[in-house]
């Protein structure tokens, strides 16, 4: 069993319950003052135990059909390497990506940028190009609750007074979409379907949902490969990867419209929907194309007993992409039987991440639809936890999504190149991005993606979310 009172609430289960979430990125300006004010802040941090209890309360509220919403706000906190260094926290967390910071990683992640005098600068928002020491993750039922919580936090750290110890670098806010888009990301796909279950926490994983040892998410717990080399205070903490990802929604939809998959019996519109499904690996409803390759199945998409019950049937050895292209987003980011099944039987638990994203920005306007052009910033505040960024987010992005050779270069038996993950795959060398096998009847079809990405990174940072005990005993003084 896990020490739920010691683990921050966003890491396990569904994470902090949220309809809206603000990420408040800060710089520590006065170290001693910050560390003493921090002891006042620690009791605000919501633990996994509290979040569990709260979910039960919301559930009971719904069951009893009580009017109104349960109001709530919850905060968690995480620090970057530069934050740990600034605070003088000792010990090497043994993660190269974390230690270097995401700004230094941007070029090799393939984030678009410009190069002057041989020096690359990513096209990120100004705030993310500055030094960020930490982030408050504040979730709530409405803006009012989150604003109130943030106000209290600012008060503790004396923001705007002579006792100020932090300075806001930037903040971003995400909101659940309402109406038709509810529970869907901005391209229109149901999100939040597949995350690993955690041994000792998720007692009854859904069919097809693999359970992993807690140490793949929590530092120094069973399964953490680098656990022994990490400082004692790191136990029960987890790395938080944050990415500020803008989505070009009208452009993505118009790409699908212009490139329908031509199959007997399919209308042009159905051919476009099929292309979308083949690029993601699921239909918009969430139904996996490995189970239902040619038609959406809304009931299947919405059914947690069945919507993860698949392992990718077509084998790499046979170069069989008829049910799902190797480069489909969910196959690239969690290749299931491609690596875990025979003949390789790899264990890829260390490459799993626990995703916690939320949407930001307005709905697509009529004008944007009509012009097929984005005028308003929108996308995903991508966040995920893992006990390693080197093996988690960074590995998935660089070695799988961005590598057109993956997964074939693992086997070296099949012909052709799977291509890029059309949703998040980026080319660090600027090469043309193609996706292979989009047509289920012809595994040799290659589709060329536009040079401009559909998902554009505009910032991010790598953080570590320590245990509650570490916050109280190591960070606060
Ligand atoms: Fe992805 N999308 O709408 O196409 N993602 N993702 N992702 N993603 C998933 O299973 C999307 C991003 C993963 O276990 C679904 O919950 C978009 C990054 C992983 O089967 C959909 C963006 C990374 C999974 C999307 C984005 C990942 C996953 C299916 C950016 C990591 C689980 C719904 C704007 C590097 C795979 C679901 C599994 C699922 C979309 C970003 C990783 C619909 C729009 C940056 C591991």
CA 158 to ligand 1 centroid distance, Å: 38
Least confident of 143-147, 345-349, 382-386, 440-444: 440-444
Q: Is 399 within 8 Å of 82 (Cβ atoms)?
A: no
Give me the mean pLDDT over the 411-433 stretch: 85
At 210-267, the pLDDT tens digits run: 999 999 999 999 999 999 999 999 999 999 999 999 999 999 999 999 999 999 999 9
H/E run at residue 211:
strand 211-212
Mutate to test the pocket of ligand 1, among 382, 393, 420 (most ligand atoms within 8 A of CB): 382
Within 6 A (CB) of ligand 1 lie 185, 187, 189, 191-194, 243, 245, 247, 280, 282, 329-330, 333-334, 353, 355, 379-380, 382, 393, 396-397, 401, 423-424, 455
At 432-470, the pLDDT tens digits run: 999 999 999 987 888 999 999 999 999 999 999 999 999
pLDDT of residue 315: 83
- Cα end-to-end span (Å), the chain: 30
Radius of gyration of the chain (CA): 22
pLDDT of residue 68: 63
Q: For residue 416, what are the contacts with CB-CB under 8 A and spacing of at least 6?
A: 319, 408, 436, 437, 443, 444
At 112-157, the pLDDT tens digits run: 999 999 999 999 999 999 999 999 999 999 999 999 999 999 999 9
Angle at 21 between CA 20 and CA 25, to 5 degrees: 155
DSSP bridge partners of 288: 282
Mutate to test the pocket of ligand 1, among 195, 216, 423, 456 (most ligand atoms within 8 A of CB): 423
pLDDT of residue 204: 84
Structure confidence at residue 7 as a pLDDT band (50, 70, 90): very high
Locate tokens 């939040």: which residue? 192
Q: What is the DSSP string of 328-344?
A: SHHHHH--THHHHSTTT
DSSP 3-state of 83: helix
Give me the mean pLDDT over the 194-199 stretch: 96
H/E run at residue 251:
helix 249-258
Is 296 catalytic? The answer is no
> Relative to the CA of 397, which ligand 1 atom is closest?
35
Residue 328 CA to residue 389 CA, distance in Å, equals 22
Instruction: Check whether 174 has a pLDDT greater than 80.
Output: yes
pLDDT of residue 60: 78
Backbone angles phi and psi of 205, in degrees to 5: -60, 150
Structure confidence at residue 415 as a pLDDT band (50, 70, 90): low
**What are the CB-based long-range contacts (under 8 Å, 24+) for 249-252?**
249/186, 249/187, 249/364, 249/368, 249/374, 249/378, 250/364, 250/368, 250/369, 250/371, 250/372, 250/373, 250/374, 251/372, 251/373, 251/374, 251/450, 251/452, 251/454, 252/187, 252/454
**Average pLDDT for the chain:** 95
At 74-104, the pLDDT tens digits run: 999 999 999 999 999 999 999 999 999 999 9
Residue nearest to atom 18 of ligand 1 (CA): 424
Locate tokens 């038996």: which residue? 413
DSSP bridge partners of 383: 242
Q: Exactly one of 105, 111, 191, 199 is catalytic; name it.
A: 191
Backbone angles phi and psi of 139, in degrees to 5: -115, 155
Q: For residue 264, what are the contacts with CB-CB under 8 A and spacing of at least 6?
A: none
Residue 401 CA to residue 244 CA, distance in Å, equals 17
264 class by beta-carbon count within 10 Å (0-12 exposed, 13-18 middle, 19+ buried):
exposed
448 class by beta-carbon count within 10 Å (0-12 exposed, 13-18 middle, 19+ buried):
exposed
pLDDT of residue 55: 76
pLDDT of residue 413: 53
Q: Is 329 within 8 Å of 281 (Cβ atoms)?
A: yes
**How far from 384 is each of 3, 122, 269, 458, CA to CA, in Å?**
20, 21, 34, 17
At 14-68, the pLDDT tens digits run: 999 999 999 999 999 999 999 999 999 999 999 999 998 887 777 777 778 776 6
- Tokens representing 85 are 């260094």
Cite the DSSP H helix spans in 95-165.
Answer: 96-100, 102-109, 143-156
What is the value of pTM for the model shown? 0.97
- Other beta carbons less than 10 A from residue 148's beta carbon: 15
Q: Which of 189, 193, 126, 187 is nearest to 378 (CA)?
A: 187
DSSP code, position 451: S
DSSP 3-state of 135: strand
Q: Which of 322, 327, 266 is nearest to 290 (CA)?
A: 322
What ipTM does this complex have? Answer: 0.99
Residue nearest to atom 11 of ligand 1 (CA): 423
């Amino acid at each position: 069993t896990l020490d739920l009172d010691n683990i921050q609430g966003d890491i396990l289960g569904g994470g902090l319950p949220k309809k809206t979430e603000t990420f408040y990125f800060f710089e520590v300006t006065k170290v001693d003052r910050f560390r003493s004010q921090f002891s006042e802040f620690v009791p605000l941090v919501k633990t996994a135990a509290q979040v569990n209890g709260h979910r039960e309360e919301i559930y009971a509220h719904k069951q009893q059909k009580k009017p109104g919403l349960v109001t709530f706000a919850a905060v968690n906190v995480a620090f970057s390497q530069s934050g740990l260094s600034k605070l003088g926290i000792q010990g090497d967390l043994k993660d190269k990506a974390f230690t270097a910071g995401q700004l230094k990683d941007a070029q090799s992640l393939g984030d678009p940028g410009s190069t002057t005098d041989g020096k690359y600068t990513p096209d990120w928002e100004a705030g993310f190009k500055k030094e960020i020491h930490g982030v408050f993750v504040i979730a709530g039922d409405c803006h009012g609750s989150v604003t109130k919580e943030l106000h209290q936090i600012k008060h503790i750290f004396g923001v705007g007074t002579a006792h100020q110890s932090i300075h806001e670098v930037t903040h971003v806010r995400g909101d659940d979409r309402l109406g038709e888009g509810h529970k869907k990301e901005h391209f229109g796909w149901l999100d939040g379907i597949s995350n690993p279950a955690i041994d000792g926490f998720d007692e009854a994983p859904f069919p097809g949902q693999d359970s992993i040892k807690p140490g793949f998410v929590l530092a120094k717990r069973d399964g953490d490969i680098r656990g022994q080399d990490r400082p004692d205070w790191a136990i029960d903490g987890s790395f938080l990867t944050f990415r500020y990802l803008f989505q070009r929604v009208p452009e993505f939809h118009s790409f699908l419209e212009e490139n329908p998959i031509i199959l007997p019996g399919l209308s042009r519109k159905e051919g476009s929907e099929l292309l979308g499904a083949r690029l993601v690996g699921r239909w918009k409803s969430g139904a996996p194309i490995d189970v239902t390759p040619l038609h959406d199945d809304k009931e299947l998409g919405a059914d947690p007993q069945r919507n993860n019950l698949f392992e990718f049937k077509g084998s790499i050895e046979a170069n069989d992409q008829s049910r799902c292209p190797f480069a489909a987003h969910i196959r690239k980011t969690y290749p299931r039987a491609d690596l875990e099944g025979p003949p390789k039987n790899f264990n890829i638990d260390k490459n799993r991440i626990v995703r916690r994203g939320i949407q930001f920005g307005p709905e697509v306007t009529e004008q944007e639809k009509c012009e097929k052009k984005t005028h308003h910033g929108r996308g995903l505040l991508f966040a995920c936890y893992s006990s390693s960024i080197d093996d988690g987010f960074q590995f998935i992005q660089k070695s799988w999504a961005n590598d057109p050779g993956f997964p074939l270069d693992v086997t070296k038996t099949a012909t052709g190149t799977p291509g890029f993950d059309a949703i998040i795959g980026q080319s660090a060398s600027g090469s043309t991005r193609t996706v292979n096998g989009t047509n289920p009847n012809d595994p040799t079809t290659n589709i060329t993606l536009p040079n401009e990405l559909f998902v554009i990174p505009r910032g991010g940072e790598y953080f570590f979310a320590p245990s509650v005990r570490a916050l109280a005993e190591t960070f606060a003084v």
